[in-house]
Amino acid sequence: MCGIVGYLGNGNVYDILIKGLHRLEYRGYDSAGIALVNPQGALGIYKTKGKVDNLEAYCVGKDLTAGVGIAHTRWATHGEPSDTNAHPHYSEDGEIAVVHNGTIENYKVLKDALVKHGCKFHSETDTEVLVQLIEYIRLNTGCDLVTAVRKAMKKIVGAYAIAVVRKGDPDTLIAARQSSPLVIGIGDGETFLASDATPFVEYTKEAVYLKDGEVAVIRRGEPLKITNLDNKTAEVDVHTLEMSISELEKGGYPHFILKEIFQQPGTLRDCIRGRVINNGDTIAVSGIIDNKEKFLKARRIVIVACGTSWHAGLIGKYLIQDMCHIPVDVEYASEFRYSNPVLTSDDVVIAISQSGETADTLAAVKIARDMGAFVFGISNAVGSSIPRETDAGCYIHVGPEIGVASTKAFTGQVMVLTLVAMAIAQLRHTLTQEQLSNLGHAILQIPDAVEKVLKLAPMLERLSLTFTYAHNFLYLGRGYSYPVALEGALKLKEISYIHAEGYPAAEMKHGPIALIDQEMPSVIVAPKDHLYEKIVSNVQQVKARGGRILAIVTKGDKTIRNLADHVVEVPPMPECLSPIITSIPLQLLSYYIAVNKGKDVDMPRNLAKSVTVE
């Protein structure tokens, strides 16, 4: 949801910023832009609609020398994607330039006031209001730029991560944050800032995560200075990054999403490592062990998340209810936050977010904590906001996920939820040791089973040709396979732009069955589980209406093989572990259909990986 990069140092400012923008492009790709202050102090701003490649083409032949610079890749919120609405935005007098990630909720009131004072606006963005406000304060109070930034921030309602440069000053870079992520990389005589650490991981491993309400002043030759909005000095807390550069490259795959699908045996191993111990007999989830009294007394668990993470949360409900006998509610974070939630200190809230930055999920976390609930986060991005705002939590450890459509993060989330459920069951003795050990042993086999499923890729590629030109799909499943159906439908929608509906298979006869004909394939997730006979009936119901069926079944299944047009066989798995296995053919199917249709599978239209606005 917009990515920002900044750099001050003796390196090639333009090259570093452009490379950084490419790394952050997953956050939005409606437009891109760059502001450079050259050593003589001239401020050059270059921006254009479309992806970073367009910006690079636009910059050919321009003066790109600089001592400091800021850059932006946009996911449009206020104002359509256009050259004018692209960042950086600049003050009317051309003195300062700003890039911004977030939304300014009171921008209309501020804009009206500035217009009354004679300010003229060129774009439709909230960001232009911010830059004009900073400059208005600077000019009218005679304060320096940092003070003007602090004063402006106090007037703003909303979320922001900003970077600011000024004409005539190639030696200063200012940054501030409230609710949108910003991390500063401290190198040798050079300083970076970015929405996440990926733009600078090859230059430095030292990172400082800016906190809400903090302003950073980066000056050439001086140590990083951080203050709050009242100019009180804050601690510079340096973390060591564990990310490696190879994690940010395609590694020979044509697309990041395909790499990420194929990484899953390894990511699941990383996710399990150290948590399934004693040969599978013991589950060790430190966030649960360290807070065991909270989980022992929990009367209810509420899971909050968005998108794919919400689908993982639905599987979490089945897992926790089955294993721990604790009632679980699963809420879209965006609905939860406005639903007057009722929580007590006996409730545990589990917030799931790959990015750890999703605005709605973060807001839900804050509400839950304010209400006294114990909040447990499940995230991928180390150091992101949700892990920092929760009482305890667990990383999924699947490495950076660059493809906008989530794949390895989903299976990582489901795996962690399985371990969380087992760890709680271990504490509350709701599973016997034998049951726990059986599951623990089965979990250790999952990475190998996933490897087997990935060998089906050529078959799914062939099958995808049969389905590429369908306009609508129905995805059906029951029990643990119902959220898998939802996730399969979401994957297809977001990367191939084909309409797909995920449905509980038995609900189909209450309406969607009317849609079934030769033209609309049904993808039915039907592993051998306790609902198998029921879903066989649902398969028959689709068949009886002339529907075409692609079924995901357990190896050796004969009944559905005789009914369905196509079957994909996956290895047998205990029921509660089946989603990790059955979701993988659906990821591959969506991928190949989208590729057949020539879609941009890593950066689907209108989407952004990290949704840091409401």
Catalytic residues: 2, 609
Is residue 594 close enough to count as binding ligand M6R by CB under 6 A?
no
Is residue 378 close enough to count as binding ligand M6R by CB under 6 A?
no
Is residue 353 close enough to count as binding ligand M6R by CB under 6 A?
yes
Sheet with 392-395, edge to edge strand ranges: 328-332, 300-305, 347-353, 374-379, 392-395
Is residue 132 close enough to count as binding ligand M6R by CB under 6 A?
no
Distance of closest approach, residue 413 Cβ to ligand M6R, in angstroms: 8
CA 384 to chain centre: 11
Structure tokens, 216: 């950073």
- C-beta closer to ligand M6R: residue 319 or 352: 352
45 burial class (0-12, 13-18, 19+ CB within 10 angstroms)? middle
> With CB under 6 A as the contact rule, which of the stretches 31-39, 106-114, 350-358, 515-523 interacts with ligand M6R?
350-358
Distance of closest approach, residue 487 Cβ to ligand M6R, in angstroms: 8
- C-beta closer to ligand M6R: residue 1 or 156: 1
> With CB under 6 A as the contact rule, which of the stretches 11-19, 301-309, 387-395, 502-510 interacts with ligand M6R?
301-309
Contacting residue, 309, 418, 541, 582, with ligand M6R by CB under 6 A: 309
Is residue 587 close enough to count as binding ligand M6R by CB under 6 A?
no
Task: Give 613's Cβ-side CA count (13 Å radius).
Answer: 23
Q: Within 491-530, which residues bind ligand M6R (CB under 6 A)?
A: 494
Coil, strand or helix at 8: strand
- C-beta closer to ligand M6R: residue 406 or 496: 406
- Of all residues in the shown chain, the one whose CB is closest to ligand M6R is 307
Per-position b or e across 356-392, b if 16+ CB within 10 A of its CB: bbbbbbbbbbbbbbeeebbbbbbbbbbbbbbbbbbbb
Is residue 125 close enough to count as binding ligand M6R by CB under 6 A?
no
Position 438: which residue type?
N
Of 545, 544, 491, nearest to 514 by C-alpha is: 545
Sheet with 566-570, edge to edge strand ranges: 499-504, 472-477, 522-526, 549-554, 566-570
**Residue 337, φ and ψ in degrees, nearest 5:** -65, -25
**Residue 31, φ and ψ in degrees, nearest 5:** -160, 165
Site string for ligand M6R, 536-575 (x = CB under 6 A): ----------------------------------------
Distance of closest approach, residue 610 Cβ to ligand M6R, in angstroms: 6
What is the Cα–Cα distance from 1 to 293, expressed in whole angstroms? 38
CA 527 to chain centre: 29
Run of H or E including 7: strand 3-8
Contacting residue, 67, 280, 287, 307, with ligand M6R by CB under 6 A: 307
Is residue 464 close enough to count as binding ligand M6R by CB under 6 A?
no
> With CB under 6 A as the contact rule, which of the stretches 243-251, 302-310, 577-585, 589-597 interacts with ligand M6R?
302-310
Contacting residue, 55, 306, 328, 498, with ligand M6R by CB under 6 A: 306
Is residue 405 close enough to count as binding ligand M6R by CB under 6 A?
yes
Is residue 611 close enough to count as binding ligand M6R by CB under 6 A?
yes
What Å distances lie between residue 480 and 309, 473, 476, 526, CA to CA? 15, 20, 11, 10
Is residue 361 close enough to count as binding ligand M6R by CB under 6 A?
yes
What is the Cα–Cα distance from 130 to 135, expressed in whole angstroms? 9
Is residue 582 close enough to count as binding ligand M6R by CB under 6 A?
no
Is residue 406 close enough to count as binding ligand M6R by CB under 6 A?
yes
- C-beta closer to ligand M6R: residue 552 or 611: 611
Of 303, 304, 410, nearest to 363 by C-alpha is: 304
Can you say whether residue 447 is alpha, beta or left, with left for phi > 0 and alpha for psi between -120 and 50 degrees?
A: alpha
- C-beta closer to ligand M6R: residue 69 or 488: 488
Sheet with 3-8, edge to edge strand ranges: 43-49, 31-37, 68-74, 3-8, 191-194, 183-186, 206-209, 238-240
# chain residues binding ligand M6R, by CB under 6 A = 17
Is residue 404 close enough to count as binding ligand M6R by CB under 6 A?
yes
> With CB under 6 A as the contact rule, which of the stretches 113-121, 518-526, 563-571, 603-611 interacts with ligand M6R?
603-611
Contacting residue, 73, 103, 354, 522, with ligand M6R by CB under 6 A: 354
Is residue 355 close enough to count as binding ligand M6R by CB under 6 A?
yes
Q: Under the rule (CB under 6 A), what is the footprint of ligand M6R?
A: 306-309, 353-355, 358, 361, 404-406, 490, 494, 607, 610-611
